[in-house]
Structure 1
C-alpha cells in the first residue's frame, strides 16, 4: 500500500514538473527575446563588458531554448495520440504557444548576427526554418480542437515563418560571398580624359614641348545633389544660428548617405579609382558638413546595421509595410483571444499566453520606434522633403547628439600592473588564467576628444599632401616627420626604426615615465576633474593614445600587422611596474638607460630604450614634449590602420567600435589605403606648345 502511494506521488510530481517545465522554458524564450531587442543595438555604442556577456549569452541560448520548447510540445502531442496521456486545457494552450516560439526564432530586428561569422551560417538557419516550421505545423494539425484558438495559431504561424525567413535572407545577404556579389564594380575612367592624354602624347611625339596643366576632374554630381537637397529642404522659420545647425544636420546625413554606397565596397576589398576618391573628398569638404568624424560615425553606423541587424529587410517599403501588418495581426490575435471562454484554462497558462501576446506587441512597437529614430529614415525624410516630421523627430532625439559608437578608447597601461603575491593570485597562476585575468582587470576607458579627432584629421591631410607630392619620406607614419619637425630626428630616429611592436612598447614606457615625472598625479581621473588647461589636455591626449595603442597590441592583435607579437604579454606584464618602484624615479631611469642590454633580451631591452626616449624628451620644454608624444602616437595609429583587414574592422564594430576603424575609413576617403591602385589621370585644361 505504501509503495503504491509513493508511485502515485512520483507520477503526480512528474506531471507537475512537465507542466511547469514547459511554462518555464517558454517564459525563458520570451525573456531572451526582450533582452536581445533591448541590448542588440546598445552594443553598437556601448563597449561595456556586461552588455557583451549578456547579449552573447542570450544570442546563444535563444535558438536552443525555442527549439527545445517546440520539441517538448510535440512530444506532449505525440504522447496524447499514443494514448499515454489525456488531452486537457493545458495542452490546448501549449499548442497555441508553439507558433510564438517560431516567431522567437525569427529574432528581433536589432540583432540578426552576434558576430560577423554568424552571417555565414544562413544555410543552417534555412534548414532549421524548414524543420521547425514543419514541426509546428505537425503540432497544430495533430492538436486541432478549439476553432478560434487554432485560427489564431495559424495566423501567428504565418508571421513566425515570415520573420524567420526574413532572418535567413538577411544573414545570406550579409555573408561574405553574397555581400561581395551584390556590390557594383568600380566606375570606369571617363573617355574625355583619355582623349586629352592621347592628344598630349601625340603632340609630344611630333616634337612639341607640351606643358600640361593638371586638373582634378571629379564627378561632382553627388556634391551638387547634396547642395541642391539642402537648399530645397524647407527649414521653417528659424534664427540664423538654428538655421545653420539645421542645414549642418541635413548636410551631414546626406553626405554619409551618399558615401556609404561606396564605403561598403571597402569591406568587399574592391579597388577604387582616384576619380572616386576625389568625388568623396568633395562631399566631405561640403560647407554644411559637421566634420569628417561625424560623417564617418554615421557611415559606420549604417554599415554596422548591414552586418549585424535586419536593416537590409527593414529599411524598404516592403519591410516597413510588413512590420505594420505583423503588429496589426498580433493586436487582432490579442483582441480575439480576449473574447474566448477562459474558464477551462488555468491562471498560469492564461497569464503566460497574454504575456506572449503583449510582449510580441511590445517587441514590434520597439522595432518601429527604433526604425523611426534611425539615420536611414532621417535620410529618407530629407529626400522626400518631409521637413515637419524630420524636425519633430530631431527635437525628440537630436541627430548630431546621438550616440553611434562608444566614442571611447580602451586603455591599457603596463606601468600600473601589480605583481600580486596573495593567495588569490597564486591560485589564478595555478589555474594558468592569471594573464587573462590581468588583461581584463586592468583595462580602462578614455573619451575620444575633439582635440584627438582634429589632430588625426590634420595628420591625415598632411600625409595626403605629401603623397600627392610624392616626396620620399620613409616611416612617415611612425614619427619620422614629427621628430624631423621638432629637431629631434638625430636623437630619436632609431626609435622609429625598431620593429613596430617594440616601438609601441618603447614609446609607451617613455610616455608613462614622462607623465609620472612631471605631469600629473597617479590617477588620470583626478587630473580630469581639475581645471583642464591646454597643457593638461595635450598631456592627457598623448597618454590616452599611448594606452590605446598598447590595448590594440595585447587585446586586439588581429588589428595590427601580422609580424606583431615578438614580445608576448606573459614576458612583460610583471616587469615594468616592479622595475620602477624605486625612488627617486629620474635616477632609476638613468641607471636603466645606461645599462648595456643585448637586443635578444627583449623585455629588458625595451625597458632600457624606453628610459632613453623618456630622458631625451625630458630635455624638451613641456608643451613641445607632449606635442611630440601626441603626434608620434597619431602617426603610429595612421601607420597601422590601413594594414588591418576590412573584415577585422567589421568584426570589432559589435563591441562599441574602435577608433582605429574610424581612422581607417577616413584614410580610405583620402585615398591613403591600398584600395586605390589605379593611377590618377592627368586631365589637361590647356596645352602650351612650342616647336
Structure 2
C-alpha cells in the first residue's frame, strides 16, 4: 500500500499536533487583544482582514485543540509511539476554555454576532463537558488543584463573553432600556366621577394642567442669536467624559429606534447650545460613540458592573494562583516531557500577560473615569479630589490635537499673487487647524474620505486640500499606490491589445480559409466548417465563461471597486469645517421646538437653505427644483458635479472685498468641496450607509460616467487627464433646453443637468449679489444631515468598528440638537382636576 503522507511527517504530526493547535489558539488570542482595539481608529482593510480572520479562527482552533486532547486521552499508547503526557495535557483543556472566553477587546466582529449568544451558551456547556471528560480520563492527577483553578477562570471568562453577547443583542439591548408600561392617568375613573357629578346636577368641570416640567420649559426665540452674553469656564477632560457617559445612557436608544421625550431633548439642547466652542461638542460625541462601540462589540460594559468587576478579579486571581502552584511544583522536568512543560509555561505566561493588559485597559478606559465619578453641581469643584485630578490627567493624554496648516499654492484658492507665486502678497492665505491626534491616542480615524466624479472620469491626479501626513507616510503611499495605478493601466492596455490581436488573427485566418475553400473541395468540406463552427468561437466561449464567473463571484464589481479606491484619499478633519457644521445645526435647533418642526428640518435636503437665504423669485425656485423635483441620489450627483464645475472656475470668481469676507468666501468654497466629495464617496463606496436614500445612485453614476466618456472622446480630451480641461468643455455646451427634454429619460445621466445647475448658480450670484459658495456650503450640510438621519442606526454602529465616519458624528449631533423624528413625546402627561362648584 502506498503511503500518500510519508511516515516521518506523520510522526511529527503525532508529536506536535496538540502542541501546535494550543500555541495557535494562544497566538490568535494575542492578535485579537492587541489589534482589535485599533479597528475603531482606522478603516485600513489589512487590519480589518487580520482581525476578522483571527476572530473566526480563534474559536475553531480552540475547539480543534480540545478535540485532539479528548481523542488523545481516550486512547492507549501503542508500543514505540511518541510520548503523550496525558496528565499535563489535561491542564491544557481548561486553558482552551479560557481562550474561548475571548479577549475583553472584542466579543463580536459584527452586530449579527451578538444574536448568536445562545450558541455560545451551548458551546460553554459542551466545552465544559469535554474539559471534565479530559480531566477524568487523566485521574489520578497530581495537577488537579491547578486544573480546577484554570477551569474556574476559563468558565468565568466564557460566561463574561456570553453575557456581553446577550446584553448587546439588539432585542435584549432594546429590552434593557424599555421602562415599565405606562398606562397614563386613569381616564375611565375620572370620566365616571364626572358623569356621576353631572347626573347629580352638580356644577362640574375638568381643568387640564400641563406636566410641571412641560410648563417650565424654556421658550424658543423666533429669531435667536448665537451670541452668548456670559462665558463660562471650559469643560475639563473629566467633565467631557462624564457628559458623554450621561448622554450615552440617554441616546443609546437611537440604535434600537426608541422614542424620546421633551425632557431628553431639552436637557441635551441646553448643554450643547451653551458649550463654549464646537470642539467641546466634538470631544463629547467622539467619547459617546466610543461608549456605544464598547457596549456592542466588547466586554467593557459587562465588566463595569459590580458583578463583572468581581468576576474579573476572581478570574485573574485564580489564573495567577494556578501559575504560582505550577511553578512551585517540584520535579516537573522529570515527570513531564520537556517540550510540554515549555508549552505550559508559555500558556501561563502569555495568559497572565494578556490578562494584565486587559486589566490596564479596563482601569484606564473612558468608562472607568466617567462611571466612577459623578458630575459636580458646582463647576469650580470639578477637580476637587485627587482621584478626579488623576482621571482628568489620564483623559488629557487622549485629547484632540490640532496642527496648523497654510492652504495656499496648492491649487485650492489662488489669487493673482498666487498665480505669480508671490505668496507674501497673497490675500487668500489661510491657516486651518487640522486634526492630528497620534494614532494610538485616537478615538476614531479622524479623516474624511473623498471621491471626485470628474477626477475619476478623466483619470486625473487627485490633489489634497490639506495634507497632515508626514513625509514618511506621504512617500510610502506614493510607493504603494504607484504599482496599483500602473498595474491597472497595464491590465487595461493588455486587454485591449489581446482583443485587437484576436480580431486581427481571426480576420486574417478567415480570409485565408475563404480563399482556400474556393479552390479546394476538401478545404470547403472540412477546414471551413471546423474553423468557423468550432475554432473561431473559442474566444467567444472563453469570454462567455469569464462573464459567467465574473457575475458569479462578483469579480467585475470587485475590480471596479478597487479601481475606484485609487481615487479616494483622506482629508483630515479641520476645526473650521466642524465649527461650520456645528453652528449650522445649532442655528436650526432654534426652530425645532416641536417634533413636527424638528422632523421638517431633518427632512430638508437643500430647500431650507435656498428659501431662507434667497428672496422669493424665479431664480430661487429655479434652484429649489434641483432638490425638490428630483430623487435624493439624483440631486446628490447633480450638485456634486455642479460644485466641482464651480470649483474649477476660481479664476473667474468675483472675490469679495475685505480680508474677513475673502476668508469666509474661501472657507465656504473649501467646505463645499470637501463635503461634496465626501458625499460622493458615501454614495459610491459606502452604500451600506446610504441604503435608505441611495435609490438607483449606482445606475445614475454609471450612466453619467458613460456619457462623460463619450463626450470626452468626441472632444478628444480623454487622454488629457485634466479636470480643468473637462470643466471648460462641459460648461461650453449650450444648455438652453432641459437635457431630459432633448434626450428622454431612459438614460439616468445627469452630466449636463449639473452643468445647467452650475450656470444657474453663477446667474444667481450675479442677480442677488450673494456668494454662491455660502449657499453651496449650507446646501451640502443639509444634504449630509438628510443622509445621516435617514441612515439605518445599525449601519452607523457597524461603521464605528471600521474607523468611524463624519456622518456618524453628524447623526449624533443632530440627536443632541433635537433634530430627529425620534423625539415624539412633546406633551407628556396632562394633569386633569375635577372641579365641583361655580
Query: Normalising to structure 2: TM-score of the pair?
Result: 0.67
CA distance in structure 2 between the partners assigned to 1:585 and 1:134 by the alignment: 70
Q: Does residue 821 of structure 2 align to residue 674 of structure 1?
A: yes
Alpha-carbon distance, 1:28 to partner: 1.6
CA contact (8 A) 2:153 2:314 kept: no
Instruction: Specify the alignment match of 1:538 in structure 2.
Output: 668
Q: Please tell me whether the aligned partners of residues 298 and 404 of structure 1 are also in contact (alpha carbons under 8 angstroms).
A: yes
Deviation, structure 1 residue 342: 3.4
Mean alpha-carbon deviation: is it higher for 460-469 or for 502-511?
460-469
Q: CA deviation at 1:452?
A: 2.4
Q: Confirm or deny: 8 A CA contact 1:109 1:310 kept in the other structure.
A: yes
Q: Secondary structure of the equivalent of 2:104?
A: coil
> Structure 1 residues 189 and 586 mapped into 2: Cα distance closer, same or farther (>3 Å)?
farther
Alpha carbons of 1:335 and 1:663: their partners in 2 closer, same or farther (altered >3 Å)? same
Alpha-carbon separation, structure 1, partners of 2:386 and 2:651: 51
Give the match's secondary structure for 1:343: helix
CA separation in 2, counterparts of 1:535 and 1:275?
Answer: 39
- Structural mapping, 1:221-240, within 5 Å: none
User: Is 1:332 aligned to 2:321, yes or no?
Assistant: yes
Partners of 1:219 and 1:19 in 2: CA distance: 75
Selected match of 2:641 from 509, 532, 537: 509
- Among 682, 693, 696, the alignment partner of 1:566 is 696
Matched, 1:260 2:254: no
Equivalence for 2:413: none
Partner of residue 230, structure 1: none
Query: Over residues 241-279 of structure 1, what are the superposed CA-to-partner deviations in whole Å (9 max), with x where a residue is unaligned?
Result: 9x955x432332222222222211222222222233112
Residue 638 of structure 1: how far off its partner (Å): 1.5
Of residues 56, 59, 62, the one that matches 1:63 is: 59
Alpha-carbon separation, structure 2, partners of 1:683 and 1:457: 35
Q: Distance in 1 between matches of 2:305 and 2:144?
A: 32
The answer (yes or no) to whether the contact 2:154–2:315 under 8 Å persists in 1 is no
Note the C-alpha offset of 1:77.
1.4
Maintained 8 Å contact 1:296/1:662: yes
Out of 153, 164, 171, which is 1:170 matched to? 164
Contact 1:274 1:678 in 2 (8 A): yes
Moved more, 619-628 or 116-125: 619-628
Rg comparison, structure with higher value: 2
In structure 2, how many angstroms separate the alpha carbons of the residues matched to 1:24 and 1:600? 66
Shift of 1:551: 2.0
Q: Which position in structure 1 is the counterpart of 2:450? A: 411
Alpha-carbon distance between aligned partners in 1 of 2:706 and 2:49, rounded to the nearest angstrom: 28
What is the deviation of 1:466? 3.2
Worse overlay, 127-136 or 400-409 = 400-409
Is the 8 Å Cα contact of residues 90 and 135 (structure 2) preserved in structure 1?
Answer: yes
* Residue 150 of structure 2 corresponds to residue 156 of structure 1: yes
Distance 1:557 1:333 in 2: 50
Deviates more, 1:669-678 or 1:434-443: 434-443
- Which TM-score applies when normalising by structure 1? 0.81
Please say if 1:295 is aligned against 2:284. yes
- Deviations 1:614-666 (Å, cap 9, x if unpaired)? 23344548992332222111011122222222222222221122222222222
Single out whichever of 69-78 and 400-409 deviates more from structure 2.
Answer: 400-409
Deviation by residue 1:226-247 (Cα, 9 ceiling, x = unmatched) = xxxxxxxxxxxxxxx9x955x4
What's the CA shift string for 1:522-557, capped at 9, x where partnerless?
xxxxxxxxxx96655433322221122112212333
Deviation at 1:561, TM superposition (A): 5.8
Equivalent residues, number: 628
In 2, Cα distance between the equivalents of 1:584 and 1:383? 59
**1:113 and 2:108 equivalent?**
yes
Is 1:131 equivalent to 2:126 in the alignment? yes
CA shift, 1:73, in A, is 1.1
* Structure 2 CA distance for partners of 1:132 and 1:258, relative to 1, 3 Å: same
Deviation of the 1:509 alpha carbon:
0.9
Q: Counterpart in 2 of 1:35?
A: 31
User: Does 1:382 find its partner at 2:381?
Assistant: no
Query: What do the CA deviations read for 1:199-226 (whole angstroms, capped 9, x no partner)?
Result: xxxxxx999xx9x9x9964689xxxxxx
Asked if 1:423 corresponds to 2:491, the answer is yes
Q: CA deviation at 1:70?
A: 0.8
User: Is 2:607 the partner of 1:613?
Assistant: no
Pairwise CA distance, 1:103: 0.6
Superposition deviation, residue 155 in structure 1: 1.2
Q: Does 1:597 align with 2:728?
A: no
- Structure-2 residue corresponding to 1:349: 340
Q: Indicate if the aligned counterparts of 2:240 and 2:283 stay in contact, CA closer than 8 A.
A: yes
Q: What is the aligned counterpart of 1:278 among 266, 271, 279?
A: 266
RMSD over aligned CA atoms reads 3.9
Deviation of 1:396 (Å): 4.5
Kept in 2, the 8 Å contact 1:109–1:311? The answer is: yes
Q: Which residue of 2 aligns with 1:314?
A: 303
